[in-house]
Amino acid sequence: MFARFSAASGRTADTAAGLALRALLRSLGQIVLQAHAGTGACLLAALALTDWRLALAAVLGAAAANVCALVAGHAETAIHEGLAGYNGALAALAAFTFVGDAGTAAALALIAGGASAWIAGPLNRWLTRARLGLYSVPCLIATWIWLPLHLGSEPVATTIAIAPLVPHASPLAAVVHAAAGVLSGLAQTTFASGAAAGLCVLAGLAWSSRRAAAYALGGAALASALELACGASPDAFDAGLAGFNGALAALAVCALGTRAAFCATMLAAALHLAAVRCGLPVLTAPFVLASWTVHLAARRLRGLRAASTPPEESEESTVR
């Protein structure tokens, strides 16, 4: 009997550990709006390729957010799907990106990661009533609280200088450079950098949905092209800072169709450019605002079409 009890306890522990690991990986996958553990694993690889401390930060932040969400009484389904942890991961990544001291960054990562879960609860209820997505708003709030007080690092927005484009020596070099910049834009969706990290993010998206991967890649390319055309520096393009908001916006509205994704991407790029000119560290706020705007506009258009449809046509279509 004792042996059976021990075996059952071991299986229960293994099951609980497996569920916790899947929730953690799905939290990372939700950074790019995919509730898929494989996507989370690929994003973790992208972070490790950039800096192992970023990978550790993402795990710390997601774990802290999941624990706080459990304590706060969030739905277990939301926690298992990664919806409770991804903002914590993003908040922790922001801390390690902007803070040079490892100890301070780790403390901020845990505090901001946990705080994002407490912020997300009431905010998500309000946004659900408005039929809008939560996206990365809790992370933005948690980060903006401390970011103005930290003077040790330069905000991302001020690092994107405006400069003329430099022509490449050959068409092949130009194509390679463009592909690397677009992939870097995908990498920046999770605070990673470099084409190799971008390939990991793209692979993770394709693992969950090839359609999502295509939209993210197209969004990063379109946003990067627009910002370069408007005078963003080649250094910003190389770092992926010109494309990540466009990639996220395309992912957020791709269910509405290609035209909606195009509009959201262009709007996110325009908002990001405006923030850069003003020197504001907006992080992913342009993607959030663009996605909300397009969803609200699409809902309004559906309402107008329904109101303009004559009752006779509606009855005929119902009969058919």
Choose among 116, 108, 58, 66: nearest CA to 87: 116
Q: Which string of DSSP letters, residue by residue, matches the chain?
A: -HHHHHHHHHHHHHHHHHHHHHHHHHHHHGGGT---HHHHHHHHHHHHHH-HHHHHHHHHHHHHHHHHHHHHT--HHHHHTTTTTHHHHHHHHHHHHH--SHHHHHHHHHHHHHHHHHHHHHHHHHHHHTT---TTHHHHHHHHHHGGG--SS--GGGG--B------SSHHHHHHHHHHHHHHHHHGGGT--SHHHHHHHHHHHHHH-HHHHHHHHHHHHHHHHHHHHTTB-HHHHHHTTTTHHHHHHHHHHGGG-HHHHHHHHHHHHHHHHHHHHHT---TTHHHHHHHHHHHHHHHHHHHHHHHHS-HHHHHHHHH-
Residue with the larger pLDDT of the pair 319 and 268: 268
According to the model, what pLDDT value does residue 85 have? 95
φ/ψ of 25, rounded to 5, equals -70, -35
Interval 75-102 mean pLDDT: 93
What pTM was computed for the model?
0.86
According to the model, what pLDDT value does residue 160 have? 37
Query: For residues 35 and 208, what is the distance between their CA atoms, to the nearest angstrom?
Result: 8
The domain ranges of the chain are 18-149, 168-311
According to the model, what pLDDT value does residue 169 have? 56
pLDDT at 144 over 50: yes
Residue with the larger pLDDT of the pair 76 and 155: 76
In this structure, are residues 286 and 245 in contact, taking their beta carbons and an 8 Å threshold?
yes
Residue listed under structure tokens 């950039």: 50
pLDDT at 145 over 70: yes
pLDDT at 3 over 90: no
Interval 236-265 mean pLDDT: 95
In this structure, are residues 32 and 251 in contact, taking their beta carbons and an 8 Å threshold?
yes
Q: Which string of DSSP letters, residue by residue, matches 256-297?
A: G-HHHHHHHHHHHHHHHHHHHHHT---TTHHHHHHHHHHHHH
Q: How high does pLDDT run on average in the chain?
A: 87
Q: Position 303: which residue type?
A: G
According to the model, what pLDDT value does residue 11 have? 52
What's the CATH number of domain 18-149, 3.40.50.2300, 1.10.3430.10, 3.40.190.80, 2.60.120.460? Answer: 1.10.3430.10
Among positive and negative, which fits the CA dihedral 8, 9, 12, 14?
negative
In this structure, are residues 191 and 93 in contact, taking their beta carbons and an 8 Å threshold?
yes
pLDDT at 159 over 60: no
Q: Tens of pLDDT along 276-293?
A: 988 888 999 999 999 999
What's the CATH number of domain 168-311, 1.10.3720.10, 3.40.50.920, 1.10.3430.10, 1.10.260.40? Answer: 1.10.3430.10
- Are both 18-149 and 168-311 of the same fold? yes
pLDDT at 199 over 70: yes
Residue with the larger pLDDT of the pair 292 and 164: 292
Q: How confident is the model at residue 306 (pLDDT cuts 50, 70, 90)?
A: confident
pLDDT at 171 over 70: yes
Residue with the larger pLDDT of the pair 43 and 149: 43
